[in-house]
Amino acid sequence: MVLALLVGVAIAPSAFAADPTPADYKNAAKYCKAVRESKGVEAFASLYGTNPNKKNAYGKCVSKTANAKADAREDKGDATEASNAAVTACKKQKTDDAAKFAEKYKNLGQCVKDQKNTND
């Protein structure tokens, strides 16, 4: 009886472990393998499989995850382009009239923040 309780306690933490998230893995294939291991093959197949025998689940998971990560990178790229434009504008202001720039801003970061707020 005591042994059964100890075994139950040893198994319990893994049974309640959180499902993996795409951010935890560098690539979609590793993420999908972890999901398949955590959910079990049948549950994974029913979740991601789209053909009649659900044998395409792994490929669908990888494709869906990779596309989602690519979309996230593109969204981040748009924000980076806006930041680069703000930095360029502030550097130009500082070069054109350093005294006026110093009166208006404490540093380049404050100017960039102001530029971003103006463009939003």
pLDDT per position as a tens digit, 50-84: 999 999 999 999 999 999 888 877 666 656 777 78
Helix (H, G, I), strand (E, B) or coil at 25: coil
As a whole number, the mean pLDDT across the chain is: 81
Gyration radius of the chain's alpha carbons: 25
Q: Are 31 and 58 in contact (CB under 8 A)?
A: no
For 106, the token pair is 């404490």
Residue 79, token pair as written in the block: 């924000």
Q: Name the residue among 41, 114, 106, 62 with its Cα closest to residue 83.
A: 114
Q: Quick check: pTM over 0.75?
A: no
Residue appearing with tokens 């893994």: 14
DSSP code, position 22:
G
Look at residue 1 in the predicted model and tell me its pLDDT: 46
Res. 9 pLDDT band, cuts 50 70 90: very low
Percent of all residues in the chain with a pLDDT value above 90, rounded to a whole number: 38
